[in-house]
Amino acid sequence: MLTLILISLAKVVAILLVIILPLATLLTWVERKQSAVMQDRLGANRADILGLRVWGLFNIIADGIKSFSKEDWVPPFANRFLFNIAPFVGLFAAMVTFAVIPFGPPIHIAGQEIALQVADLNVGFLYILAFGSMGVYSVVLAGWSSNNKYAQLGAMRGISQMISYEVVLGLALVGVVLVHGSVRLPDIVAGQGEHWFGWIPKWGVFTQPLAFLLFLPAAIAETKRVPFDIPEGESEIIGYNLEYSGAKFALFLLGEFIEIVVLSALLATLFFGGWQVPWLADSGFVFGNGATVEMAPLVVTVLRIASFLLKVVFFCWLQLLIRWTLPRFRFDHLLRLGWREMLPLALLNVVVTAFVMLS
């Protein structure tokens, strides 16, 4: 029992300190540099240590120091307790969602099989939907507890948006579950390791292309980022986090970038094979024409983990690209897109998938 507890703690620490927090923190720099490249600017590059700027990477440290040294102001008529815990609710919901995502194949150490995920739940799909939905509580608590009508308006926008797109997001994933016949993420990843005609991988993007096209915008809407940043309408002086400053405002921002990482991991896991590498079996590469390339088990494991991380990084980059490319939706257009256009397509995808699986 003690060994299992230590292994679980080690996996938690590894995911937090190696994947989630470093990547989310680095994205705060990547977003500014990427937008600068797209707009023909230099971007963040002023902070330095001993004259070294390292392409502006020290701005990450400077931003952290600045955020935590600012005054932590609480509105005089706010509900202090709810106002203070709101940023942590969103941060917690985003981080624990990663617990059921497998970032590599099971490994064997000292005769014991260790799953490369924190919790191998037989209801992993439902776990993701449950904790992914908790982000709305952070928005509601922040807007209502501020006792500011503009913050409350931003919270109401956030509630409408997140509820609308959670329905589409859940229905899009139902098609994936129907194809693989399981709600366990390791089973879904294992099913994507098969191939058609020995060459084409059975990734979710090929077996459920419509579900992928629906899941991506719905999930971006859940992160409340452009073009779905209606709850944070800075140009309208409206936002559920309007009254926040200092460290708590930085936690809201960090939570958004953690949501980007978690969403990228979900996209990689559900639609792009997770840690699977095309034609890579446990013994090495096995191609459709019968050719093989034998590899050591350790090399195979490293390649599979690297494959998962590269897919996550790619989708992080894609979301930042979308953020600096598309304009914001008008609020009525946003809701109409969710309820009148995406929802019928999601229902159609479930019906067609069920019919194909039964036939």
Tens of pLDDT, residues 138-161: 999 999 999 999 999 999 999 999
CB burial readout 274-304, b (16+ within 10 A) else e? bbbbebbeeebbbeeeeeeeebeeeebbebb
Residue 108 phi, psi dihedral angles, 5° rounding: -115, 120
Cα separation values, 239 from 224, 252, 261, 331, Å: 11, 12, 23, 14
3-state SS assignment for residue 263: helix
The β-bridge partners of 285 are: 280, 293
The answer to whether 192 and 208 are in contact (CB under 8 A) is no
Distance CA 45, CA 265 (A): 29
Dump pLDDT digits (tens) for 39-74: 999 888 888 888 888 888 999 999 889 888 988 889
pLDDT of residue 149: 93
* pLDDT tens, residue by residue, 289-346: 888 899 998 999 999 999 999 999 999 999 999 999 998 888 899 999 999 999 999 9
> Cβ neighbours of residue 198 under 8 Å, at least 6 residues apart?
287, 288, 289
Instruction: Tell me whether residue 318 is exposed, middle or buried, using C-beta atoms within 10 angstroms of its C-beta: 0 to 12, 13 to 18, 19 or more.
Output: middle
Predicted local distance difference test score (pLDDT) of residue 121? 85
Average pLDDT over residues 100-122: 84
The pLDDT, as a whole number, for residue 82 is 94
Confidence band, pLDDT 50/70/90 cuts, at residue 4: low
Please tell me which residue, 2 or 302, carries the higher pLDDT value: 302
The answer to whether the CB of 34 falls within 8 A of the CB of 320 is yes
pLDDT band at 3 (very low <50, low <70, confident <90, very high): low
At residue 288 the predicted structure's pLDDT band, cuts being 50, 70 and 90, is confident
Averaged pLDDT for residues 166-180: 93
Mean pLDDT taken over the chain: 90
Amino acid symbol at 174 = V
Q: How far apart are CA 150 and CA 11, in angstroms?
A: 41
Q: Report whether pLDDT(283) > 70.
A: yes
Is 80 exceeded by the pLDDT of residue 111? Answer: no
Convert the pLDDT of each residue in 199-235 to its tens digit: 899 999 999 999 999 999 999 998 888 899 888 877 7
Binned at pLDDT 50, 70 and 90, residue 5 comes out as low
Per the listing, tokens 């958004």 go with 256
133: which residues sit within 8 A by CB, 6+ positions away? Answer: 162, 166
pTM: 0.93
Mean pLDDT in residue range 248-252 = 92
Reading the block at residue 272, the tokens are 């792009």
Tell me what pLDDT residue 107 has: 85
Residue pair 16/95 in contact by the 8 Å Cβ criterion? yes
Which ranges constitute the DSSP H helices of the chain? 2-14, 21-38, 58-69, 80-96, 124-132, 135-145, 149-180, 185-191, 204-207, 209-223, 246-271, 297-323, 331-336, 343-358
Question: Reduced to 3 states, what is the DSSP secondary structure of residue 93?
Answer: helix
Neighbours of 26 (CB within 10 A): 16
From the number of C-beta atoms within 10 Å of its C-beta (0-12, 13-18, 19+), residue 258 rates as buried
Task: Say if residues 235 and 143 touch (Cβ distance below 8 Å).
Answer: no
- Spatial contact of 274 and 201, defined as CB atoms under 8 Å apart: no
